[in-house]
Amino acid sequence: MTSNEPHDDIQYPTALPFVLVHVSCLAAIWTGITWTSVLLGVALYFLRIFAIGAGYHRYFSHRAYATSRVFQFLLALVAQSTAQKSVIWWASKHRHHHRHSDTAQDVHSPRHHGFFYSHVGWVFSRRHDEADLKAVSDLTSFPELRLLHRYELAPAVALGIFCFVVAGWPGLVVGFLWSTVVLYHATFCINSLAHVHGSTRYVTGDDSRNNILLALMTMGEGWHNNHHAYQASVRQGFRWWEFDPTYYILKVLSWLGIVWDLQLPPQSILRNEQRLGARVTAKAAAMLAAHFDSGMIASTIKSSLAGSELAWLCEKLMQAPHDMAETLKGLHLPALPSREEFLAQAKARLAASPSLHEIADRARELVLASVALHLTRTAFAGSPA
């Protein structure tokens, strides 16, 4: 699916309650706004954004620290009161996102699916309606988490009733609904905006960004490029000035013995000295290769060669079908981008990394292989490459 195709898999009736929650926020015109309801809303926002970041994300999705079964349940209960589906569903989709980040298989990539779909539309997609239980077998082993999964809206409904009892209609509308809507979009911005706007410190093979405004909104979740560079870290603000209150709170809880085994990034990551794995290198190379138009390069080569020369070239390529990129390298055709050009593009488009040379070389192989395919498929047919 590309960003300009209609997203006809969105289940609009299912999205209706989500829309109604937003519209219901206007009821404050009639209920009024009280200081109690405002304070309740602010408190619930920060309590629940912590539960999303520390619970749904860093604990349930990435196991960045350990805790007791009781505190695990409390984290899930509070996080699920945000009405962002169950802990099991959330973690399964997030783990899938990291396996396929910013590829066509990603559940919410702005690069492939468009900004609106990556922000919220994907949540109501038929293909994403069910949790992948195999991906979260470590969570489904707990009956209390399976119970929350079965009754995913119960915590949110209970919290709404509590807000009404405490502060009346303003408590329900301002305290609960307003804070819930802001929580929706603060969380969703990490899926969408944090893959579009911000800075990159690490090569991660995707579009993840560090965004200070999102970090402030989400208690540290906005250091998204850091997170994609080392997903197992309980700390996402790697530098001292990268505000990460979720980590600070978890650190205090570790002193109290409530959580333990906090995973931190190794020094090689912090100094950006780590060699990238094969999967990240391949993804980064594919992204770099996409900036070179292999069809245009093949067309330029065809137009610069006489008919007999082109036939000889294609015959030579066909003699080595599994090594066509190496064949083109040895011919030194003037239209082919050099290794230095690929390295220059890598330095211009990617963050600093000890693996930039490997990425550039891999990207060059991909482009040359694609150029060779264009040449061999079209030369004898007489159609343009």
pLDDT in tens, 327-383: 787 777 778 888 899 999 999 999 999 999 999 999 988 998 888 888 887 655 554
Whether 26 and 175 map to the same domain: the answer is yes
Domain end point (choices 250, 270, 290): 270
Distance CA 255, CA 261 (A): 11
Please report whether residue 3 resides in a domain: no
Whether 288 and 172 map to the same domain: the answer is no
Pick from 46, 90, 14: which is nearest to 182 by CA? 46
Residue 7 has pLDDT above 60, yes or no: no
Whether 204 and 302 map to the same domain: the answer is no
Distance CA 220, CA 177 (A): 23
Domain end point (choices 241, 270, 299): 270
pLDDT of residue 262: 98
Whether 218 and 295 map to the same domain: the answer is no
Please report whether residue 374 resides in a domain: yes
Please report whether residue 239 resides in a domain: yes
Q: How confident is the model at residue 385 (pLDDT cuts 50, 70, 90)?
A: very low
Torsion angle (degrees, nearest 10) of CA 231, 101, 123, 6:
170
Please report whether residue 2 resides in a domain: no
Distance CA 64, CA 262 (A): 6
Mean pLDDT of 146-157: 96
Q: Mean of the per-residue pLDDT values for the chain? A: 90
Residue 205 has pLDDT above 50, yes or no: yes
Please report whether residue 5 resides in a domain: no
In 10 A of CB 286, how many CB atoms? 15
Distance CA 211, CA 214 (A): 5
Whether 43 and 117 map to the same domain: the answer is yes
Please report whether residue 201 resides in a domain: yes
Pick from 287, 314, 286, 284: which is nearest to 378 by CA? 314
Q: What is the pLDDT of residues 209-264, one digit of tens each?
A: 999 999 999 999 999 999 999 999 999 999 999 999 999 999 999 999 999 999 99
Unique residue bearing structure tokens 């509308």: 173
Looking at the structure of the chain, the number of domains it has is 2
Please report whether residue 205 resides in a domain: yes
pLDDT of residue 80: 97
pLDDT of residue 4: 43
Whether 198 and 323 map to the same domain: the answer is no
pLDDT of residue 9: 60
Whether 187 and 296 map to the same domain: the answer is no
**Helical (H) or strand (E) element with 259:** strand 259-260
H helices of 256-323, in order, are 267-270, 278-289, 294-304, 307-319
Lowest mean pLDDT among 121-125, 195-199, 233-237, 283-287: 121-125
Q: What is the pLDDT of residues 48-105, one digit of tens each?
A: 999 999 999 999 999 999 999 999 999 999 999 999 999 999 999 999 999 999 998 9
Please report whether residue 7 resides in a domain: no
Whether 96 and 213 map to the same domain: the answer is yes
Pick from 290, 288, 297: which is nearest to 358 by CA? 288
pLDDT of residue 2: 41
The token pair at 156 is 């949110």
- Give the structural domain span for 47: 12-270
pLDDT of residue 323: 79
Whether 253 and 307 map to the same domain: the answer is no
Whether 36 and 114 map to the same domain: the answer is yes
Whether 146 and 84 map to the same domain: the answer is yes
Residue 43 has pLDDT above 80, yes or no: yes
In 10 A of CB 322, how many CB atoms? 7
Whether 185 and 316 map to the same domain: the answer is no
